[in-house]
Amino acid sequence: TVTLSLWFLSYSLLFGLWLPSCLTQTTPSNTGMTTPKPSASPQPQIERLRVRLAGFPRKHNEGRIELFHKGEWGTICDDDFSISNANVLCRQLGFVSATGWTHSAKYGKGQGKIWLDNVLCNGGEKSIEFCKSRGWGNSDCTHDEDAGVVCKDERIPGFVDSNVIDVNENKIEEVRLRPVIAMAKKRLPITEGVVEVRYKDGWAQICDLGWTTKNTHVVCGMLGFPHERKVNRNFYKLYLERQKSNFHIHSVACTGTEVHLAACPLEFSKPNATSSCGGGMAAVVSCMPGPLFIHNSGLKKKFQISPIIFSNVRLKGGARVGEGRVEVLKNNEWGTVCDDRWNLQSASVVCRELGFGSAKEALTGARMGQGMGPIYMNEVKCLGQEKSIWNCPFRNITSEDCKHMEDAAVRCNVPYMGLENSIRITGGRTRYEGRMEVLRSDSNGTQSWGLICGENWGTNEAMVACRQLGLGYANQGLQETWYWDNSNVTEMVMSGVKCVGNEMALTQCQHHKTVSCQRAAPKFAAGVICSETASDLVLNAPLVQQSVYIEDRPLHMLYCAAEENCLSKSAAKANWPYGHRRLLRFSSEIHNIGRADFKPKAGRHSWVWHACHGHYHSMDIFTNYDLLNANGSKVAEGHKASFCLEDTDCQEGVSKRYECANFGDQGITVGCWDTYRHDIDCQWIDITDVKPGNYILQVVLNPNHEVAESDFTNNAMKCNCKYDGHRIWLHNCHTGDAFSEEAERRFEKYPGQMDNQIS
């Protein structure tokens, strides 16, 4: 048996050496192939190319791409990198596909060679080596431009060799604080405790010899906290002397600007050392949470005028807390930041300024939607310790430098709150939809799941639920869920839920203290459909200001408008068809700057035909027009149904999808806009009964939140308005924060109490 095995092994080795050599002797003339251009792709290797994921901070399915060529590991430059390249690499690594790719050394800078540059894959190649590039080792890049990939966390069936090779068995991926004070163990977020790193199948400690506040700053940042505070080391020393510590890291030397502990110089404990932390103890840190995550009521009051609300920096368009497009305020107008040289250091300054931790991702290419208005900053170069992005060096923008398709965005580290554990959705076809269930505790501490009453449940409530579940934006909030009835949960335990829409959890929304639900059968329980993307409508405010005028229109020309309820109530008492109505007219240009098309909630089968104007209404009220006095009371009002939602025009490179002619689909494509000219019916406010004076013109898009959007705060536009009885002047037209008005409208008739505590 031994002899046979040796013979078989020898034969296999000989065959393995002979076969590749035979294959390499095949000439182009023998195969009918033409010789490829030398620069078309790197010469494919006879031996299968090894690929690995490296860097920090990362999960097992993401990281910096490294290739093993000529006995040496090297990286790929991000020039011309694309999702097609990422798909090829992820399949090489044994994953089914890629979900994204990264640039600018997001997972840290590699070492050694930069093997490939200007890689151009079609997406179907078996290996990255078969894609076009400048050739092996031919690059003009530095390691600041190392590319990375994010693969879908699903393995190719039957893929045996993982091809994922760990760079260093001492890598640090997961860090936590282990609280020791009884009170701290019971409430989230955990802000103080022993620093521990994931090691093998458990957790290990860090020796605090030489530990500095800079180390603490980095740890707090990666755990979602903007600042650190002093800790009572003597208290912990007494506690830790009675505990056995397992030191994995002997010393840490952060500069304070790193976004992850793994980026700091680390000295790992030697396995055979007799005392790995002589004279020291396990490192302990205490972090200061941002205003959104403070428990202490005294501190909450201190931060009521929150820097998040009154800062000159904000995040817009993000589905989750701590993410969004970066916008900065200058001369009372919000603008965006261009993504040239946008990196984790600059992103971290923004995150900490807004009360979050360091940046988890610095996003480019308008990944959180395109902004509108000015672009104020380009080539932002923060060092990482600045208090505000305004303190960082940056270059002013010229019109040639940047477009809104280059708007920078961030995903910040936020404290773990465990909010997703107290609700769930069941019965849906995918994990993004289903009936809402909430976890409740009775007087004995027994926990059980219950339903939410569907009465008055809508888009705002669904927005909060989807955010709490970490499932992105709301697509719909549903008041009946009989078609998802596959659960044995039948009791209504929550009712009267009314959310503004920006809360982190449903328990922060207004709701009944005692359940009151007229339709208490399970089929009337609330449900949600969540989505990773959503539309976002914004009105072009300058166009309103430029196009406004007054027209006295004869009544005999307003019969269709009267049928559409576009005139004030006093028009019904007019002497038709004699006389006229005084109309405040203007144009509306409505942009979709989100990441999904804006489409009416109702299907075309339920659209209403209006013969007078000869078109279908897909939404009863698409826009509200109001004239307000100084007290905010309406002195005149109008509304506009969606006469015809369509793409009037689009930005360069975007194709129109929606056209109303011939009963076509209605909607507004991402990157397009729908224009309602000043000279069409109902594009006005009837001001016949308005006296001369100073007013506010207000336009609100999608006022009833009938269609879900990623951001409702930019749906309202206001202008200061002066009317002398004959002419009208508008000035200071701007989009504003509609949340407070919507909240006031929704809550003014509601007698319940507000519960502001996170539970």
350 located within any domain: yes
How confident is the model at residue 42, as a pLDDT?
A: 55
pLDDT band (50, 70, 90) for residue 550: very high
How confident is the model at residue 3, as a pLDDT?
A: 43
Indicate if the pLDDT at residue 2 is higher than 50: no
Residues 615 and 736 in one domain: yes
pLDDT band (50, 70, 90) for residue 43: low
Residues 558 and 695 in one domain: yes
Indicate if the pLDDT at residue 537 is higher than 70: yes
302 compared with 513, residue with greater pLDDT: 513
How confident is the model at residue 367, as a pLDDT?
A: 85
How confident is the model at residue 58, as a pLDDT?
A: 75
> In the structure encoding, which two tokens stand for residue 437, read together?
């269930």
Contact of 311 with 387, CB cutoff 8 Å: no
238 located within any domain: yes
pTM for this model (two decimals): 0.73
Query: For the residues of 390-408, what is the DSSP string, one character each?
Result: GGS--B---TTT--GGGB-
How far is the C-alpha of 369 from the C-alpha of 534, rounded, in Å?
10
How far is the C-alpha of 703 from the C-alpha of 697, rounded, in Å?
15
Average pLDDT of 13-30? 38
Indicate if the pLDDT at residue 299 is higher than 60: no
Indicate if the pLDDT at residue 306 is higher than 50: no
Residues 379 and 462 in one domain: no
How far, in whole angstroms, is CA 306 from its chain's centroid? 22
Residues 690 and 719 in one domain: yes
Residues 340 and 373 in one domain: yes
How confident is the model at residue 741, as a pLDDT?
A: 39
573 located within any domain: yes
Residues 523 and 545 in one domain: no
Indicate if the pLDDT at residue 5 is higher than 70: no
How far is the C-alpha of 42 from the C-alpha of 241, rounded, in Å?
59
The predicted-structure confidence for 574-627, as pLDDT tens digits, reads as follows 889 999 999 999 999 999 999 899 998 877 777 777 767 666 777 778 888 999
DSSP 506: G
How confident is the model at residue 637, as a pLDDT?
A: 80
Average pLDDT of 388-399? 87
87 compared with 3, residue with greater pLDDT: 87
29 compared with 148, residue with greater pLDDT: 148
Segments forming the whole domain that contains residue 361: 308-413
345 located within any domain: yes
How confident is the model at residue 328, as a pLDDT?
A: 95
154 compared with 667, residue with greater pLDDT: 667
How confident is the model at residue 755, as a pLDDT?
A: 33
Could you tell me the sign of the dihedral formed by the alpha carbons of 111, 105, 355, 530, in that order? negative
How confident is the model at residue 158, as a pLDDT?
A: 63
Out of 413, 432, 454, pick the residue that ends a domain: 413
How far is the C-alpha of 496 from the C-alpha of 461, rounded, in Å?
11
How confident is the model at residue 296, as a pLDDT?
A: 56
Whether the ω angle into residue 189 lies within 30 degrees of 0, i.e. cis, is yes
> In the structure encoding, which two tokens stand for residue 423, read together?
């609700």
Average pLDDT of 696-723? 92
How confident is the model at residue 47, as a pLDDT?
A: 64
DSSP 106: T
pLDDT band (50, 70, 90) for residue 639: low
Indicate if the pLDDT at residue 398 is higher than 80: no
What are the Cα distances from residue 329, in Å, to 159, 341, 502? 51, 21, 21
How confident is the model at residue 8, as a pLDDT?
A: 38
276 located within any domain: yes
Residues 509 and 601 in one domain: no
Indicate if the pLDDT at residue 6 is higher than 60: no
How far is the C-alpha of 736 from the C-alpha of 561, rounded, in Å?
29
Indicate if the pLDDT at residue 682 is higher than 70: yes
Which range, of 144-158, 352-366, 400-414, averages the lowest pLDDT?
A: 144-158
DSSP 184: H
Helices (H), 25-137: 28-31, 83-92
The predicted-structure confidence for 234-273, as pLDDT tens digits, reads as follows 888 888 888 888 888 888 999 999 988 988 988 888 765 5
Indicate if the pLDDT at residue 502 is higher than 60: yes
How confident is the model at residue 309, as a pLDDT?
A: 45
Residues 510 and 624 in one domain: no
Which range, of 434-438, 545-549, 558-562, 608-612, averages the lowest pLDDT?
A: 608-612
Closest to 588 measured CA to CA, from 637, 657, 662, 643: 643
611 compared with 332, residue with greater pLDDT: 332
- Sequence letter at residue 366: A
How confident is the model at residue 629, as a pLDDT?
A: 92
pLDDT band (50, 70, 90) for residue 11: very low
Indicate if the pLDDT at residue 750 is higher than 80: no
Average pLDDT of 549-571? 89
> In the structure encoding, which two tokens stand for residue 142, read together?
């530095």
pLDDT band (50, 70, 90) for residue 564: confident
Residues 127 and 257 in one domain: no
pLDDT band (50, 70, 90) for residue 78: very high
Residues 559 and 708 in one domain: yes
pLDDT band (50, 70, 90) for residue 185: confident
pLDDT band (50, 70, 90) for residue 458: very high
Residues 6 or more apart whose Cβ sits within 8 Å of residue 692: 723, 724, 725
Contact of 292 with 375, CB cutoff 8 Å: no
- Kindly report the average pLDDT of the chain as a whole number: 83
- Sequence letter at residue 464: V
Q: What is the CATH number of the domain that holds 329?
A: 3.10.250.10
38 located within any domain: no
Could you tell me the sign of the dihedral formed by the alpha carbons of 563, 568, 572, 575, in that order? negative
Contact of 345 with 104, CB cutoff 8 Å: no
642 located within any domain: yes
How far is the C-alpha of 718 from the C-alpha of 701, rounded, in Å?
12
Residues 405 and 512 in one domain: no
Out of 531, 548, 577, pick the residue that ends a domain: 531
How confident is the model at residue 652, as a pLDDT?
A: 84
Contact of 242 with 281, CB cutoff 8 Å: no
90 located within any domain: yes
Out of 531, 548, 582, pick the residue that ends a domain: 531
Residues 606 and 647 in one domain: yes
Hey, which bits of 309-461 come out as E strands? 313-316, 323-330, 333-337, 359-363, 375-377, 409-412, 423-427, 433-441, 447-452
pLDDT band (50, 70, 90) for residue 746: very low
Domain count, the chain: 5
